[in-house]
Structure 1
């Protein structure tokens, strides 16, 4: 999150912070950090100022100072909207509580809502919605599907994925944590319904049902995927599809929180998790999904399917539910 848009409430302090940002933009991070230190001596309770200094300290090579700066910011912003706790976690200082993670993500996308598409499409070469759409279409053809009755687009943002699904889904619901994103998307008339909600809470509400669930560039803001995958499996009808992307982590860990404050997930672990929950992995692609400060970001795109139960499997499940002897299979 860019903390510079948050004023200290003092014009002179804000002006000094602006000068510090100009120094940083010119590449003089040492001078920027020094000027912010002087500025914060006069405004020690300005959480966004400590976030700025943390960034300047980090880029000047002073990680220890950056950590101290983020600790100051975390004390002043306990809700976590500025992301100080996320930075500390990314450097192994502390874990992030789910509420803090959600507060950061909500604030981040509320800030970006009005220029989100411009940034993604024109500056970051974002390709996930189009790639996922193509993979979904190929999977539909493979299973002779003409369309989906009900769809859910998780983390719908401004509707970049939803507009590509509209022709194939009779009733499409968009869900996003950011109220500003939901308001921006509502003006486009893409979805049959829009909800502002945390995605796991949305999925586990009684009565949720879908034939297609998508999540384009959503799970990089989610540290733990198994509970979400399980909830999606519970929502999908038999034969339903689940299409999503991840940032790829090539190391042995299940996932890592990167300096970008996005999570990268291990593709092999994702496959194993899907299979363990009963999904059939239909398609996987490795792609450069966007640029980040001029550096390609590698990702993986998945289409998984909830298989239909065979008649025998259905009879076994019903027998177990009734605590009766299961039928003998021949």
Structure 2
């Protein structure tokens, strides 16, 4: 889980004195004294109005006091100063209902986040969060293949948001050509270093790219499987990914993915700053892009604070 207050972009102002104030404010907020944090940040921002990290922290402190309108104003100022949204301000705005969740994704935030996370990614996911998405998704995919009476083998596979290659390791034996993409160069480096049992590279092709741009570069009707394990939790509007997957897939090709889910409608951003998608919303969007759900199963792919996170395993067929 990524903590709500964590930052993956430089928090420096360029002035050591102001940076110390920022650190004091951050410590005060972590200790539960949001008012003290606000008072420190008020002084800091009066001297450095363009201190983006301070605006983001100011928003978190205001939220902690229940001042959501003031928090939203601070996060909008973040976006004014940093339109690329390295601090995930859009996610915070969506989290408090100040922005539609479907508009809140930020590739810059996600890419830098996972660059910082790459060295400890596998061990933290598997040991601390009990991450099981690759194994669960592979099993659901096998059940779907049995259900529609097709071989559990795929000549051309695109692994979206491949990370360090955990999904690739799980599905490699069932693939011919395995291609992966990820926004994080360091994650791709980790995936590139992995090999099969015979010493050959785990992936036949790897690219540092967002999933939409990666799919857009693939030929029409060229893939047998598009798979995305624990990736769509970083995207609100999945329609572009569904549409590109449908274009790239051969007829009867499969799209398999995991999402976090919720009991309401549409798309929301949870306290963990990850997107959760309602099952009905997913069914509607898949149908609009000529993808027919074969299986939708409830499953938790990881833990958060020692509790299972609600989720869905989805396998859809290109018709």
What is the deviation of 1:2? 2.5
Q: 1:96 & 1:300 partners in 2: Cα distance?
A: 19
Q: How many residues end up aligned between the 2 structures?
A: 306
Q: 1:230 & 1:44 partners in 2: Cα distance?
A: 42
Spell out the pairing of 1:63-142 with structure 2 (5 A cutoff): 63-94=68-99, 101-142=106-147
Spell out the pairing of 1:1-330 with structure 2 (5 A cutoff): 2-3=6-7, 6-94=11-99, 101-142=106-147, 143-188=149-194, 189-205=201-217, 207=219, 209-252=222-265, 254-306=266-318
Distance 1:132 1:64, change over 3 A: same
Q: Could you say what secondary structure the match of 2:162 adopts?
A: coil
Q: Could you say what secondary structure the match of 2:261 adopts?
A: strand
- In structure 1, runs of 5+ residues without a counterpart are 308-330
Q: 2:190 & 2:24 partners in 1: Cα distance?
A: 33
What is the deviation of 1:29? 2.7
Calculate the TM-score normalised by the size of structure 2: 0.84
8 Å CA contact retained: 2:218, 2:248? no
Q: Which of the pair has the greater relative contact order for Cα pairs under 8 Å at 6+ separation?
A: 2
Q: RMSD of aligned C-alpha atoms?
A: 2.7
Q: Could you say what secondary structure the match of 2:112 adopts?
A: helix
What is the deviation of 1:131? 0.6
Distance 1:52 1:166, change over 3 A: same
Calculate the TM-score normalised by the size of structure 1: 0.82
8 Å CA contact retained: 2:94, 2:268? no
What is the deviation of 1:299? 0.9
Q: 2:287 & 2:218 partners in 1: Cα distance?
A: 24
Q: 1:92 & 1:58 partners in 2: Cα distance?
A: 12
Segments ≥4 residues shifted beyond 6 Å: 96-100
Q: 1:246 & 1:259 partners in 2: Cα distance?
A: 15
